[in-house]
Chains A and B, each alone.
Chain A
Amino acid sequence: MGSLDLSQLQHLWWLLVSVVGALFVFLTFVQGGQGLLLTIARTDTEKSLVVNSLGKKWELTFTTLVLFGGAFFAAFPLFYSTSFGGAYWVWMLILFTFIVQAVSYEYRRKPDNFLGAKTYEVFLFINGTVGVLLIGAAVGTFFTGSNFSLSEYNFVTWEHPGRGIEAAFSLFNLSFGIFMVFLARVLGALYLNNNIEHEVLIERTRDAAFKNLLLLLPFLLYVLYRLLVMDGYAVDPATGVVSLEKGKYLSNLLAMPINGLGFLLVGLVLVVWGVVATRFMASRKGIWFAGLGTVLVVLAVFSIAGYNNTAFYPSKFDLQSSLTIGNASSSHYTLATMSYIALAIPFVLAYVWYVWSLLDKRKLTEADLFVEGSDEKY
Chain B
Amino acid sequence: MDKDLKISRKKKINQAIAFSLFTFLSYFIVAILFVILAFLIYKGIGVLSWGFISEMPTDGMTSGGIYPAIIGTLILVFGSMLFAFPVGVMAAIYMNEYVKDGWIKRFIKLMTNNLAGVPSIVFGLFGMALFVNKLEFGDSILAGSLTLGLLALPVVIRTTEEALKAVDDTFRQASLGLGASKWQTTSKVVLPIAFPNIITGLILSIGRVSGETAPILFTVAAYFLPKLPSGIFDQVMALPYHLYVISTSGTNIEKSREMAYGTALILIIIVLISNLAASRLRKYFGKKVKMN
Our verdict on whether A and B bind, yes or no, reads no
